[in-house]
């Protein structure tokens, strides 16, 4: 199966959980490769949002604190940078800041933008994996290098009591 097939399989698995919902850009409407992995998921499980990255992660935290497991989708890692405030100062630290009263669990799904067949420019294909790993102490950061690790990684994220940032490689979508 291709990388994209495995991502689709993982998203369908997550969607089976009543507490999971998907939110972000291109969850209901075409516009990125990520959209194609969500097409078979019921519309009632998806919330399309405008481009407002920081607010999107804030909404995701709110859903998490109400018992949902949001899969907050950022089609390009470059724009997850706009939500770094929420990720580093809130998702990663709420448990400590609240004296262990709150522990958000958010699955953050992002992708390093494709460079092929057209180079989209430096603001659409950067890899900040190492930077996030150094900033986040309470959020697991996983970069999906191979298609065979996709489903197990998303299953682990669903079972974990921690938030997880999962980084996909857009250039691999059509590879096995």
pLDDT in tens, 85-144: 999 999 999 999 999 999 999 999 999 988 777 777 778 889 999 999 999 999 999 999
Residue with tokens 């079972």: 159
Q: pTM value? A: 0.95
Segments of the chain assigned E as strands: 20-24, 46-48, 69-74, 107-112, 139-143, 163-169
pLDDT digits (tens, 9 = 90+) for 20-34: 999 999 999 998 889
Tell me the CATH architecture of domain 3-172: 3-Layer(aba) Sandwich (3.40)
Rounded Cα distance, 84 and 61, in Å: 13
Residue 22: how many CB atoms within 10 A of its CB? 24
CB 124 within 8 A of CB 67: no
Which residues, 6 or more positions from 153, have their beta carbon under 8 angstroms from its beta carbon? Answer: 10, 142, 144, 166
Which residues, 6 or more positions from 121, have their beta carbon under 8 angstroms from its beta carbon? Answer: none
Which residues, 6 or more positions from 39, have their beta carbon under 8 angstroms from its beta carbon? Answer: 8
Name the maximum alpha-carbon separation found in the chain. 49
Length in residues, the chain: 176
Rounded Cα distance, 52 and 41, in Å: 23
The average confidence (pLDDT) of the chain is 95
Q: Which residues of 31-63 are buried (b: 16+ CB within 10 A; e: fewer)?
A: ebbbbebbeebeeebbbebeeebeebbbbbbeb
Percent of the chain with pLDDT over 90: 89
């Amino acid at each position: 199966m291709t990388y994209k097939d495995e991502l689709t399989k993982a998203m369908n698995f997550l969607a089976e959980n009543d507490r999971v919902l998907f939110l972000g850009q291109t969850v209901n409407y075409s516009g990125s490769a990520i959209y194609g992995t969500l097409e078979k998921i019921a519309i009632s499980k998806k919330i399309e949002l405008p481009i407002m990255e920081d607010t999107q992660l804030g909404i995701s935290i709110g859903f998490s604190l109400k018992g949902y497991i949001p899969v907050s989708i950022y089609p390009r890692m470059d724009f997850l940078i706009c939500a770094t405030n929420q990720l580093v100062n809130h998702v990663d630290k709420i448990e400590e800041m609240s004296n262990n009263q709150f522990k958000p669990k958010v699955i953050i799904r992002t992708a390093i933008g494709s460079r092929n067949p057209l180079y989209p420019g430096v603001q659409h294909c950067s890899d900040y994996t190492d930077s996030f790993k150094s900033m986040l102490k309470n959020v697991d950061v996983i970069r999906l290098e191979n298609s065979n690790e996709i489903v197990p990684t998303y299953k682990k994220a669903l079972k974990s009591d921690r938030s997880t940032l999962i980084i996909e490689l857009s250039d691999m979508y059509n590879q096995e």
